[in-house]
Amino acid sequence: MKKYSLWLLLVFGYANPALGSLRERFETAVDIYNAFKTNIAAAGAELSEKAADTTLDEAEKLLTKLESRGITVIPFEDDLYPDALAEVPNPPCVLFAKGNTSLLKNKLVTIGGSRKATQYTIAAETHVCEELCGKYTLVASLVEGCEQLACITAMKMGKGCIEILPCGFDHEYPKGSHVLREQVLMNGGCIITEFLPDVKSCNANFIRRARIAGGISKAMIIFQARINSGAFNAAKYSPALFFLPIHDIFSYKYAGAVQYIRNGASIYYTVEDIDNAFKEGFSAPEINVKAIITEQKKAEKPTAAENKAEEKAPAESITPSEELFETPVHYSVYKKISASESPITFDELFRNEDIGITELSEILLDLEIAALIKAVPGSRYTVC
């Protein structure tokens, strides 16, 4: 099964909606592979040409190379593949892992928040993460601030954590995190990515990582967030979203959390809140996630250094004009999505645009990064 999943990755690349459509028609990676062999036009001429040029032998050699480096290959159908992650739009067809992969079957809670954590946030998050470690495995990155603190707290508690990379194992992100990453592995943790070892981090890969960070767990806690915090990229994929009680409702440092709570997100008080999210039949409150268009009234303003330090989600425009789009084709695709009364499928867009599958996939990702559209289950798209 692993070599077939790697074959899919070589043909389709990362987060390709066309693969999501095929998954709805065929049950396994083997089935999709066989479909291409019996029907060369299974997913359009462009991908069929790529499939014809990619052999199963190439995938098998890649598998041997990865395993010789101690990298575990976890295909979509594998028992280790997290059930919750399989439910996000365009889930990874394969995960690459190092360390204690058994953690992936634990009850996972994703941690997010600002790189510039306040003393209140640091104290509160440390207490909450220590409490959570008794029942749950924490998922985060090693980015300085709230996420790195979660990993460090887990290790101090003698627990393994899961780190998600926006790049392959040959590259370091964030810069200077190599030593801490080794400590994660030595302390029984696990590092995962959907990218092959030589893939570097880039803006698109941060968005791709976000769907894994939010979708891998049944609950996510954001400890501190400004309006444009990058934590919200992952939040939209989380089945249940919680925020730390706001320390200062007038501070820009918590303004994003205030907005989400106002629109329906839950406040975290005790570990029982997370326990409820894991109960069968749990239904999280619907969150009305809209772009914030009102002017912030705050006594203090972030410095240029603080602005640069935080991962930012692009601001949404309510009535975007053509000048805001990278190309006329980007604008054309957006108009078709916005004109549809219900989410439109990738196949519908492909039939109505005179472009290839790969180009359409890249355009949809560009529009999603710009927060103009969003992916919903079933390889469908709607405006934000």
Residue after which a domain boundary falls, among 221, 249, 277: 277
Task: For residue 36, give both structure tokens.
Answer: 């291409």
Is residue 340 in a domain? yes
- Give me the residues paired with residue 241 across strands: 220
Mark whether 73 and 38 lie in a shared domain. yes
Q: Is residue 291 predicted with pLDDT exceeding 90?
A: no
Q: Is residue 124 predicted with pLDDT exceeding 70?
A: yes
Is residue 201 in a domain? yes
Is residue 298 in a domain? no
pTM (2 d.p.):
0.77
Mark whether 75 and 136 lie in a shared domain. no
Residue after which a domain boundary falls, among 216, 245, 277: 277
Mark whether 139 and 83 lie in a shared domain. no
pLDDT in tens, 34-55: 887 776 545 555 677 777 788 8
Per-residue pLDDT averaged across 2-11, rounded? 92
Is 244 within 8 Å of 121 (Cβ atoms)? Answer: yes
pLDDT of residue 295: 32
Indicate the number of domains in the chain.
3
Q: Which residues of 346-375 are buried (b: 16+ CB within 10 A; e: fewer)?
A: bbebbeeeebebbebbbbbbbbbbbbbbbb
Is residue 94 in a domain? yes
pLDDT in tens, 88-111: 888 999 999 999 999 999 999 999
Q: Is residue 298 predicted with pLDDT exceeding 90?
A: no
Q: Is residue 320 predicted with pLDDT exceeding 80?
A: no
pLDDT of residue 229: 86
Q: Residue 333 belongs to what domain range? A: 322-383
Mark whether 266 and 341 lie in a shared domain. no
- Give burial (CB, 10 Å; 0-12/13-18/19+) of 181: buried
Mark whether 230 and 376 lie in a shared domain. no
The CATH number of the domain where 367 resides is what? 1.10.10.10
Percent of the chain's residues with pLDDT above 70: 86
Residue after which a domain boundary falls, among 78, 99, 120: 99
pLDDT in tens, 194-247: 999 999 988 889 989 999 999 999 999 999 998 888 888 999 899 999 998 888
Mark whether 338 and 253 lie in a shared domain. no
